């Protein structure tokens, strides 16, 4: 039996592989990647490497075997029909008869368009008849702490979320939840709502940045239209992607990412990473 992780060299996948290496022998782990070169570090530590692409179904032939546990990390290609990409993996896993199929989804309270692909994928997983675990990840601390350069340059956190709050956690936290599911028994056909332990506002975020940098950082609340314009103009994002991100801002304002479930602690026995700690790590880096 192997534990197989797709998207293993991505931002989340790397943390999952590292967490698995602390729990199980390396030769029981398979990292599914598109680039063998990027996985060289894992291969050197004894992790098995499989080269496959969500966009090329035949590359998944032979990747899975009966009894395997699989983690499908959702595709980041929001413009390429993610449900179809994910079904490639689901179909291959079903044909092989894997023992468990876990998927990194979106928190259940999110109604923004970003969640549509996740709900479609969840439906496909349930319909497949595979024993499943839905890991509904909330928002990531790094969605903000990896974008500090313009915030520090202009002295402002510019968002369209009003006074909405975000119960976020770090990527390493969500990875730890996935590792807990993949290395234990009794999680079949379960959905976990994974959130941070504390919900913070963007005013709180700006205040914490001010405290840690010694600079005055303001919270500049704008409309969704203005926000998407900034994303397409200054940031150069494609219009459809900017619209999706703008929709998330509207969801935050409505409180859809503020809920705190407690599922993370029940899975891992530890608290999530506070946004202040992720800010400190980003500033240090």
| Cα distances (Å, whole numbers) of residue 283 to 181, 209, 214, 231 | 32, 9, 12, 23
Helix (H) / strand (E) element for 192: namely: strand 190-194
> The CATH number of the domain where 18 resides is what?
3.40.50.720
Could you give the number of structural domains in the chain? 1
In DSSP notation, 120-142 reads HHHHHHHHHT--EEEEEE--BTH
Q: Is residue 225 assigned to a domain?
A: no
**Domain assignment present for 217:** no
Instruction: Give a yes or no: residue 213 inside a domain.
Output: no
Q: What is this structure's pTM?
A: 0.96
Q: Which domain holds residue 71?
A: 3-138+169-194+259-272
**pLDDT by position in tens, the chain (length 285):** 899 999 999 999 999 999 999 999 999 999 999 999 999 999 999 999 999 999 999 999 999 999 999 999 999 887 668 999 999 999 999 999 999 999 999 999 999 999 999 999 999 999 999 999 999 999 999 999 998 999 999 999 999 999 999 999 999 999 999 999 999 999 999 999 999 999 999 999 999 999 999 999 999 999 999 999 999 998 888 999 999 999 999 999 999 999 999 999 999 999 999 999 999 999 998
Asked whether residue 70 is assigned to any structural domain, the reply reads yes
Q: Please report how many Cα atoms fall inside a 13 Å half-sphere around the Cα of residue 133, on the Cβ side.
A: 29
């Amino acid at each position: 039996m192997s534990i197989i992780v797709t998207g293993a060299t991505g931002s989340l996948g790397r943390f999952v592989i590292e967490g698995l290496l602390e729990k199980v022998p390396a030769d029981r782990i398979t990292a599914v990647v598109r680039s063998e070169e990027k996985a060289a570090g894992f291969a050197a530590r004894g992790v098995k490497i499989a080269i496959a692409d969500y966009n090329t179904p035949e590359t998944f032939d032979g990747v899975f075997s009966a009894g395997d546990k699989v983690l499908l990390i959702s595709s980041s290609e929001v413009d390429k029909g993610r449900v179809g990409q994910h079904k490639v993996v689901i179909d291959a896993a079903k044909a092989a008869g894997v023992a468990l199929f876990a998927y990194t989804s979106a928190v259940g309270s999110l109604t923004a368009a970003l969640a549509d692909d996740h709900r479609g994928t969840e439906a496909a997983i349930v319909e497949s008849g595979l024993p499943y675990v839905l890991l509904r990840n909330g928002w990531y601390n790094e969605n903000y702490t990896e974008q500090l350069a313009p915030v520090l340059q202009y002295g402002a956190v510019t968002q369209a979320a009003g006074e909405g709050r975000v119960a976020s956690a770090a990527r390493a936290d969500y990875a730890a939840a996935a590792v807990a599911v993949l290395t234990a028994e009794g999680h079949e056909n379960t959905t976990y709502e994974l959130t941070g332990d504390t919900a913070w506002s963007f005013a709180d975020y700006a205040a914490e940045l001010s405290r840690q940098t010694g600079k005055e950082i303001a919270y500049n609340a704008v409309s969704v239209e203005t926000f998407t314009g900034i994303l397409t103009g200054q940031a150069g994002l494609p219009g459809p992607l900017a619209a999706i991100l703008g929709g998330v801002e509207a969801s935050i304002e409505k409180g859809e990412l503020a809920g705190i479930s407690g599922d993370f602690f029940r899975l891992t026995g530890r608290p999530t990473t506070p946004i202040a700690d992720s800010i400190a790590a980003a500033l240090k880096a």
